[in-house]
Amino acid sequence: MDDNSAKQIGEKIRKYRKEKGYSLDDVSLMTGLSINTLSSIENGGNTYVSHCIAICQALELKPSELFDIEIELKPRYELPPARRNRALTTLRINKLYETGFFSTPRFVESVVEELAVSYGVQVDSSEISTALKKLNDDGKLTFSKSGRRNLYVVRED
């Protein structure tokens, strides 16, 4: 959690605790958390989600209210391009699966072609093979050999 978010959450906890008329000692007794831990949280220290939930229970506060804070909606660190592309490839292949593309047997080459037509992307066949293997491991697809190539189709159990 970034420092600003932790500080906003801590300030909300302090505000709700004081509105209820509770001391840190009172909340400590109701949560099992030490006074030092509670003080640290209220001052913007990092903590566990389970601690926040225990505090919400003690203050009769919905977690959605506690976490209703302004944050920048972007990852702290960007995914490297290769990882981002692999995630997109997996997502696109899962969409092909969901729309019935694999109801007829398909080679990796036909998946490459379909991704090029549907999404305008050229994807390395090894990335596609990895995603198809995952669908096979998840029990969604099965494959048979046709020479040295795999032929993927929806698993019928």
CATH number (domain holding residue 150): 1.10.10.10
How many structural domains are present in the chain?
2
> In angstroms, what CA-CA distances link 93 with 2, 69, 88?
34, 35, 9
Same domain, 61 and 26: yes
Specify whether 100 is located in the same domain as 144. yes
Under the banding of pLDDT at 50, 70 and 90, the label for residue 3 is confident
Cα–Cα distance measured from residue 119 to residue 114, given in angstroms and rounded to the nearest whole number: 8
Q: Is 71 domain-assigned?
A: no
CA-wise closest residue to 90 among 136, 46, 131: 131
40 plus 100 within the same structural domain: no
Residue 53 included in any domain? yes
State how far the Cα of 107 lies from the Cα of 49, in Å rounded to an integer.
45
pLDDT score, position 156: 87
| CATH assignment at residue 59 | 1.10.260.40
Residue where a domain stops, chosen among 12, 37, 66: 66
Query: Could you say which of 66, 100, 118 is where a domain stops?
Result: 66
Q: Where are the beta strands (DSSP E) in the chain?
A: 106-107, 141-146, 149-154
The share of the chain scoring above pLDDT 90, in percent, equals 88
Evaluate whether residue 75 is within a structural domain: no
pTM, rounded to two decimals? 0.63
- Is 72 part of a structural domain of the chain? no
pLDDT in tens, 88-126: 999 999 999 999 999 999 999 999 999 999 999 999 999
- pLDDT for residue 1: 52
Same domain, 95 and 52: no
- Whether 74 is covered by a domain: the verdict is no
Q: Could you tell me if residue 62 is inside a domain?
A: yes
Question: 46 lies in which domain range?
Answer: 3-66
